[in-house]
Amino acid sequence: MDPATAPWWTRATAYQIYPRSFADSDGDGIGDIPGIVSKLDYLERLGVGFVWLSPVYASPMCDNGYDIADYRAIAAEFGTMEDMDRLIAEARARGIGIVMDLVVNHTSSEHEWFRSATGGPDAPYRNYYVWRDPAPDGGPPNDLESSFGGPAWSLDPGGSGQYYLHLFDPGQPDLNWHNPRMRADIHATMNWWLDRGIAGFRMDVIDLIGKEVDEGVTANGPHLHAHIREMMAATAQGRDIVTVGEAWSATPENALLYCGRDRDALSMVFQFAHVTRFWDDAHGKWEPHPIELTGLKAVFDRWQAALSDDGWNSLFWSNHDLPRAVSTYGDAREWRVRSAKMLATVLHLMKGTPYIYQGEELGMTNAGFDDISQYRDVETLNQHRLMRAADMSEAEFLAGARRSSRDNARTPMQWTDGPEAGFTTGTPWIGVNPNHATINAAAQEDDPDSVLAYYRHLVRLRREHDIVVFGSYTPIAPDHPNVFVYRRDLEGRALVVVANWTAEEVAFDPPGGMEAEGRCLVGNVAPRTRIDGTVTLAPYEAFAILYEPD
């Protein structure tokens, strides 16, 4: 990527807002758009370039808005279209773009299209969804499973006897991407939003829209990239937007199909190889394996290499579907602050666009729930039912959920040490983490040693140093089990990033050629300007040194 012509989003850091849990302005216990507007100064101070806003559209909320009933209306609990327009305008005035979540693999079963599609083959909009006759025994047409557990097929509520496809909850029927009329309606909706001034789209499970269900193919289907390119041709022409494709199935081999420069496709791919690497073959995220650093580094190294000259990476530790970063990769107790900063250092100085998930910049931790009644997430509750029926004990399930449930990331944003963490004056829809007494934005706001201050600094480094944005990436000591080290190079300058991934002191012998004195750009223990000879790193220590020619 040529710095002179690179798009704006290459220098930007993204911030993800899960509206339900961000800030509640009216005391109903649910975060809302006016609440977000009231926190824009906070985001401006953090320095982020765009906000990925999880869905705020009209929805029965069976999956907290990832089940959309009307693409052109705002859910009453989140506010009004006027609030939305105000958010777009006020964010823009602070140099922040609003990126909407585009959930078009499926709609809600309460979308008007689906309501008119039920009942029989001649129903209007029938062909907007995926219908199949039952198997000879009357059961589902095939054995495709929903990501939330159980069959991916449910009977037509209109009584036709056919089944409809839902790769997620039965309340999320899959759209039929073979239908050009449906596709044109989606494109029109995208243009409608872009004309309102949003900065782009994050595209939910976009790798599923090319599915061929009769062949059992869901991800990465044969027409996937044709659909993406058609969509971009119909919406992105002449607009300077950012488009981010969520693709659990993306590989280093096919990533450029999503975001290669000459593809007229997406800005970047949002893939999960570093996450799924530690999932269990049989039980997935519910029984994760311990994080092992050389394996983790190998994933990042591969992806950095795959998109080194073309394409663009999304960089993230957490989002609304994943447990909290510091609880998963760091030490949420003794070394919480330092390990949160270490994780941020490693991620934010790589090549790609970093994503901060709300609260990560405070070092927020997992929810710590110990009873199933505290959980709200449809996936967690489904899995609980299924795994209990399959003989898993309650204690075992709860242990898995404490580590992996999506609700770990969905407890309210911790603004203050006051009642309900300053998130709401009412009763929050999901429990607030009691550790807001010590972990909260107010306490960190003016503290130069806070996790928040550290994140602000990293965001600024990306804006100020081309080498952070465009420098090439080379792993150093990839086989070292305890340190994460890499360098970036751009036009004779070098940036070396060193991190101790453990709670112990670790000795690291840098390779030759690093004897020079450099400039410390960031560090979570004490500034370091040299790494010649053996370096003894403090627990979770991380730093970055910039070397510039005289």
Residues making contact with ligand GLC (CB under 6 A) = 63, 66, 103, 168, 204-205, 246, 320-321
Given 204, 377, 407, 541, which residue is catalytic?
204
Given the complex with ligand GLC, which of 69 and 452 has the nearer CB atom?
69
Least Å distance, CB 516 to ligand GLC, is 44
Angle at 97 between CA 95 and CA 99, to 5 degrees: 165
Q: Are 317 and 329 in contact (CB under 8 A)?
A: yes
- The continuous run of DSSP H or E covering 257 comes out as helix 255-259
Given the complex with ligand GLC, which of 375 and 543 has the nearer CB atom?
375
Q: Which residue from 458, 342, 514 is spatially nearest to 13, judged by alpha carbons?
A: 458
Given the complex with ligand GLC, which of 156 and 204 has the nearer CB atom?
204
The pair of structure tokens assigned to 99 is 């990126």
Least Å distance, CB 350 to ligand GLC, is 22
Q: Given strand 153-155, what is the order of strands in its sheet?
A: 131-132, 163-165, 153-155
State phi, psi for 170 to the nearest 5 degrees.
-55, -25
> What length does the chain have?
550
Least Å distance, CB 406 to ligand GLC, is 7
Given the complex with ligand GLC, which of 20 and 336 has the nearer CB atom?
20
Least Å distance, CB 525 to ligand GLC, is 35
Given the complex with ligand GLC, which of 32 and 204 has the nearer CB atom?
204
The pair of structure tokens assigned to 223 is 């027409």
Q: Is 204 a catalytic residue?
A: yes
Least Å distance, CB 175 to ligand GLC, is 12
Within 8 A by CB and 6+ apart from 71, the residues are: 57, 189
Residue nearest to ligand GLC (CB): 66
Q: How far apart are CA 304 and CA 351, in angstroms?
A: 7
- The continuous run of DSSP H or E covering 543 comes out as strand 542-547
Given the complex with ligand GLC, which of 182 and 469 has the nearer CB atom?
182
Least Å distance, CB 105 to ligand GLC, is 7
Given 83, 246, 331, 377, which residue is catalytic?
246
Q: How far apart are CA 274 and CA 302, in angstroms?
A: 10
The pair of structure tokens assigned to 528 is 């370091």
Least Å distance, CB 205 to ligand GLC, is 5
Q: Are 334 and 511 in contact (CB under 8 A)?
A: no
Q: How far apart are CA 426 and CA 478, in angstroms?
A: 50
Given the complex with ligand GLC, which of 67 and 361 has the nearer CB atom?
67
3-state SS track over 83-151? HHHHHHHHHHHCCCEEEEEECCCECCCCCHHHHHHCCCCCCCCHHHECEECCCCCCCCCCCCECCCCCE
Active-site annotation, residues:
204, 246
